[in-house]
Amino acid sequence: MRVHDEAAGIAEEIAELRHAIHREPEIGLDLPKTQAKVLDALDGLPLEISTGQGLSSVTAVLRGSAHSRAHSRPGPVVLLRGDMDALPVTEETGLPYASATPGVMHACGHDLHTAMLAGAARLLSARQAELPGTVIFMFQPGEEGYAGARRMIDEGVLEAAGERPVAAYGLHVTSQRLPCGTFSTRPGAMLAAADQITVTVRGRGGHASTPHRAADPIPVACEMVTALQTLVTRKFDVFDPVVITVGSFHAGTTDNVIPDEARFLATARSFSQESRGALAELVPRLIGEIARGHGLTAEAIYAAEYPVTVNDAAEAAFAAETIAAVFGAERGERAQFPITGAEDFSFVLEQVPGAFVMLGACPAGTDPITAPTNHSARATFDDAALADGTALYAELALRRLAMSRAGD
């Protein structure tokens, strides 16, 4: 039987696991209930399972028993990753399996990733005898801003099989843009680097009627916000773009008092090392110079968060070929542009060549163009995508191991 048919055969159990995870979402690095559900789903499979120390991760290793005649070595290693954490959002979907925890919701579809990866572990376990290598299943907490992938790397996920993976793959569902069941990937930059800029402008407070006797930080901070937009358009190549968005701006208490300080937070997105390096250098300099020009001081902290998610060209091509072979060419799309969102799977792809693939999960009857986006309180993801994602995880591992073995 084809892997895709086998995935369809267990689609109901995968959906059940997904709904159970969705109903009890957890945020951050500590996801004990989600971890327990994953361990339960993997129970009885021929896997070497370990759990994280500083985070509630699950690492499962499946060793195939198809040894090549020419080699005594157990064969190459492939890593598959699914993230498990939710977001601080109060769900408004009205789904029967909606979050039972106010203020917490699987609004990014990580519940689907976890369930699909567990499904793939089941399918591949059933094929252990013919598996020409080893698969690491990486169940990861803390994708949404906690760099859980980097923590799992620090705890040894890339060495879990005894040797490093030759390839790594990650999947992500999207509630809009892509029609349900359509896959999308590209070589090179797949998602942006996301960094945080924290600015504090220090002036001297006073009476609002006599600003010349004070040093007002508010107009200076406003000037910085607009100057950052000019920096974006005048210092960066339009074909290697960057995004800076000030998402938080705070100063003062009332209309007739000039405050001592103004503060703002911005996110900076980039798609190359060059642009990211330039942002880290130019932003603090610009902030400092504007403050100095007005006789104030300012501090700009540029904090590197997630790097660019870079797909290896050969692995992205392999993923696209696998999608075409398993689902038909019409189900795969070569993404024209990278996504301005960010992913901590980037930390894995910094060390292992691989590919990150998007999967459309927009519910039937909904227009993908206007559907609520990931992270929205109304974002919904169709269970119909579950069998496809499960099959793709399993096929990527099977075909990549066979390819690697053939090249021995």
- In the bound complex, what is the minimum distance in angstroms from residue 374's beta carbon to Zn ion? 6
What backbone phi and psi angles, to 5 degrees, belong to 313? -60, -45
Spell out the residues 6+ positions from residue 226 whose beta carbon is closer than 8 angstroms to its own.
Answer: none
CB-count burial class (<10 Å; 0-12, 13-18, 19+) for 145: middle
CA atoms 9, 12, 16, 18: torsion sign:
positive
Q: How far is the CB of 186 from Zn ion (least distance, A)?
A: 18
Residue 85 or 216: the one with the smaller Cβ distance to Zn ion is: 85
The span from the CA of 389 to the CA of 112, in Å, is 9
What is the nearest approach in angstroms of Zn ion to the Cβ of residue 172? 6
- Pick the catalytic residue: 26, 85, 216, 333? 85
Identify the helix (H) or strand (E) that includes residue 405: helix 385-406
What is the smallest separation between the CB atom of 83 and Zn ion, expressed in angstroms?
6
Phi, psi angles (nearest 5°) of residue 327: -110, -15
- Point out the catalytic residue in the list 24, 143, 315, 344: 143
* Residue (84 or 401) nearer to Zn ion, CB: 84
108 vs 136, beta carbon nearer Zn ion: 108
Number of DSSP helices (H) and strands (E) in the chain, helices first:
10, 16
The residue among 283 and 362 lying less far from Zn ion, judged by its C-beta, is 362
Sheet-wide strand order for 297-306: 242-251, 261-270, 193-202, 297-306
CB of 68 to Zn ion, least distance (A): 37
The residue ranges that bind Zn ion (CB under 5 A) are 108
Q: How far is the CB of 109 from Zn ion (least distance, A)?
A: 7
Decide whether 268 or 278 has the Cβ nearer to Zn ion. 268
333 is catalytic: no
Residue number, 108 or 310, with CB nearest to Zn ion: 108
Nearest alpha-carbon partner for 229 in 264, 255, 266, 193: 266
Given a contact cutoff of 8 angstroms between Cβ atoms, the answer to whether 289 and 223 are in contact is no
| 3-state secondary structure at position 360 | strand
| DSSP line for 240-258 | S-EEEEEEEEEE-SSTTEE
Among 124, 119, 138, 7, which Cα is nearest to 63's?
124
Q: Give whichever of 245 and 404 is closer to Zn ion, judged by the CB atom.
A: 245
Q: Residue 85 catalytic? A: yes
Nearest approach, Cβ of residue 86 and Zn ion (Å): 10
* Closest of 75, 64, 78 to residue 353, by C-alpha: 78
CA distance 110 to 87: 10
Distance separating alpha carbons of residues 105 and 85, to the nearest angstrom: 9
Vertex 188 angle, CA 182 and 191, to 5°: 65
- What tokens were used for 52? 């994280």
Q: Which residues are catalytic?
A: 85, 143
